[in-house]
Amino acid sequence: YDMRNSLKLPLHEVETLLHNGTPHVIRIKMPEDDTVNFNDMVRGYVSFETNQVDDKVLLKADGMPTYHLAVVVDDYLMKITHAFRGEEWLPSAPVHLLLWEYLGWKADMPKWAHLPLILKPDGHGKLSKRDGARLGFPVYAMNWTDNKTGELTEGFRELGFLPEAFLNLLATLGWNDGTDQEIFALEELVQKFSIEKVSKAGAKFDFEKAKWFNAEWIKKATAESLKPKVAGIFADKGIVVNDDYKLLKVIELVKDRAVLLTDFYAQGAYFFEQPKEYDLNAVNPKWVDTKTEFFNLLIAKYAAIHTWDAAELETVFKALIEEKGFKIGDVMLPFR
């Protein structure tokens, strides 16, 4: 090291500095010309040359422990049996293994698994909050506010993801059960998960695939289970739904097309409140007086229907189209 430390200074000078209360750090002394070996549950046999590993700081000058010391002590006191962490901590593994040995806890050392990272969509580097902001997708499970800046980062939950979909997504980033199955409930994951099938390589994050998972889980969900979530979204938009039966019908109507939970508002709000604006520019170019007559007649016919169901409404609608000589494409846009 190009620094003053106890390995280079004479003993009497070290003792004088300590006696005078000179600020100092405490480092681990890595052995020379040795190797540290261990078996990783994901990566198999791993070996490090100690000459290539720095003497890491364990206690800072203010007496606070660094992560290297804290994680070992914490895992020991909590009786951790299996330590799962990201592969970016693999270079620190020899330091931690030696600490377990030096502290006399080698027999209690947990098994190790260094998991692959979630990568940027292009595969170049670890996924970060900045990537999410740049590419327009969340990276946190739920809303997160930076205490220093007050900046709010939207989470998957607030964007409209179901917990089941989010869990399914995370589980299949870097793991599969050896089949083509992609949709897994939590109980299935517990039964089928095997650490041996975790990939060593990082997994690219694909937001479109994430939305696909969510759409599939929305389809699988019952209207009853979705009701409180959808009602909450409507309430956040200022619509209080008091008719549970109607809400369940709307959920059933929309859920096979919904990708996010927020789509229930986007596609179903008009069932509970009048639209505030219309896209007249889309209608006017194709509007003719005969369409005014058509829709006035349609309103009258619908008002006379006693059995208000989809089949009857469709029959009346198509019959009037044929009677007036229109094509469905001529009237569907203004009808909507």
Domain boundaries, the chain: 11-115, 118-218, 221-271, 280-335
Inter-residue contact 255 to 222 (CB < 8 Å)? no
Inter-residue contact 296 to 249 (CB < 8 Å)? no
pLDDT of residue 332: 84
Residue, of 278 and 66, whose pLDDT is higher: 66
Tell me the pLDDT tens digit for each residue of 118-152.
Answer: 999 999 999 988 898 889 999 999 999 989 999 89
Tell me the pLDDT tens digit for each residue of 294-334.
Answer: 999 999 999 998 888 888 999 999 999 999 888 888 888 77
User: Average pLDDT over the chain, rounded to whole?
Assistant: 92
Inter-residue contact 160 to 261 (CB < 8 Å)? yes
The domain made up of 221-271 is a member of CATH 3.10.290.10: no
Residues facing residue 65 across a β-bridge: 59
Residue, of 289 and 125, whose pLDDT is higher: 125
Q: Return all residues near 228 (Cβ < 8 A) that are at least 6 apart.
A: none
| Fold of domain 11-115 | Rossmann fold (3.40.50)
CA distances from 249 to 128, 246, 264, 267 (A): 40, 5, 12, 13
Tell me the pLDDT tens digit for each residue of 9-50.
Answer: 888 888 888 888 888 999 999 999 999 999 999 999 999 999
CATH superfamily to which 118-218 belongs? Glutamyl-trna Synthetase; Domain 2 (1.10.1160.10)
